Amino acid sequence: MALWKGIKRQLRSVVEWDNPLPDDLFYQWTDNGDEIKNASKLIVGPGQGCIFVYEGKVQAVYDSEIMVDVKTANIPFWTTIRKFMQAFESEHKVGLYFFRTTKILDQKWGTTNIIKYEDPQYKFPVGLRSYGNYSVRIVEPKEFFVNIVGGAGHFAVSDLRSVMVDRLVQPLTDYLAESKFSYAEIDAKREEIAEGIHTKLEPLFEKIGFEITDFRIEGTSFDEDTMRRINRIADITAEAQAARTAGINYTQMQQLDAMKDAAKNEGGAAGIGMGMGAGVGFGQMMAGSMGNMMQQPEARQAEPESRSEPEDPVATLQKLKEMYEMELITEEEYSAKKQDVLGRI
């Protein structure tokens, strides 16, 4: 029985890759063993290629549909009989590795870790996530086979995606750092960023035998710390615009807000006194602001530049606190200014 199985294995006359699975990228033909009959027919179908490995070395690469004769030192019957004392094993081993030559479309990618860089306009750290898709095809199958597949019996498209993601993050980080896009420009510049990253990825994938095409960025998102900073900038911008519309500057608007907050604080005797004083100050400032708005430009220019209203310590402290929370001043500067204001009360 063992003798007949060995003979039948060597009588194999046609070798082909029937019905490859959608996820197959490289596939080792193993039907009936790997001792192939001399002059067997190798059939490479449309969209397929084949790497012919004989006695441990890559002997030929077929990257288009073809039918070829396989010539080895295995002669039916004679080789089997000679190897009778060696459990019917022949050293004339043939490895046939089929692979896909068609373009692999719509492959998904996504950053596994947060990409961090400094926003060039606002000078704060940005944490970015991104995802998209790409297409790819094998252009140097021998290089990929030798350097990545390594003779494995099966290598799937899903395995290729892992190779892709591992090589993506560094070029993406480098490009964002070099291009100096602010967070507000990321979505508008998505195509430009994708093209720039594609350019950086091309030589990396050429080294392993692949051509990457149609690289796209479908979406981006920021981490929580970045979103907190972005929202703060948006709030300040909106407040500044509202102040300009009302005819006052941003500092005056902050003082008004501080007085309103102090007026609402009615906890305890000190709070009541502060609330009353802040209410009076608030009314005075509103009256003064409205009066300034009603003045003619000439009258405003005629006002002595040296005239200034008494400093409101509550508003000053509130402003200092906001500047500290906005990271406009350091903790040391905040503490020093706070002590200075309190010392003048």
Of 254 and 11, more confident? 254
What's the order of all strands across the beta sheet hosting 94-100?
A: 57-62, 48-54, 94-100, 24-29, 154-156
Residue carrying the six token digits 């970045």: 226
Q: How far, in Å, CA of 187 to CA of 217, rounded?
A: 9
By the 8 A CB rule, do 23 and 156 touch? Answer: yes
5-9, 58-62, 76-80, 329-333, range with the lowest pLDDT:
76-80
Between 47 and 70, the higher pLDDT residue? 47
CB-side neighbour CA atoms (13 Å) of 255? 18
Domains in the chain with CATH codes: 2-100 (no CATH), 104-222 (3.30.479.30), 248-293+310-344 (no CATH)
> Higher model confidence: residue 320 or residue 186?
186
pLDDT tens, residue by residue, 116-150: 888 988 888 999 999 999 998 999 999 888 888 87
Confirm if 205 and 211 have CB atoms less than 8 A apart: yes
The answer to whether the CB of 142 falls within 8 A of the CB of 57 is no
- Where does the pLDDT of residue 67 fall: very low under 50, low under 70, confident under 90, or very high at 90 and above? confident
Compute the distance between CA of residue 86 and CA of residue 222 in angstroms, rounded to an integer. 64
From 101, 42, 39, 99, select the one nearest 73 (Cα to Cα). Answer: 39
Let me know: does 98 contact 27? Beta carbons within 8 Å. yes
Indicate the average pLDDT of the chain. Answer: 74
What tens digit of pLDDT does each residue of 72-96 get? 544 443 343 344 334 434 555 667 8
279, pLDDT greater than 70: no
Say what the pTM is: 0.57
Q: What percent of the chain has pLDDT over 70?
A: 68
Long-range contacts, stretch 8-13, CB < 8 angstroms, 24+ apart? 8/32, 9/33, 9/35, 10/35, 10/36, 10/37, 10/74, 10/76, 10/77, 10/79, 10/80, 10/90, 11/37, 11/76, 12/36, 12/37, 12/40, 13/37, 13/40, 13/41
Which residue, chain included where needed, has tokens 């979103």? Answer: 227
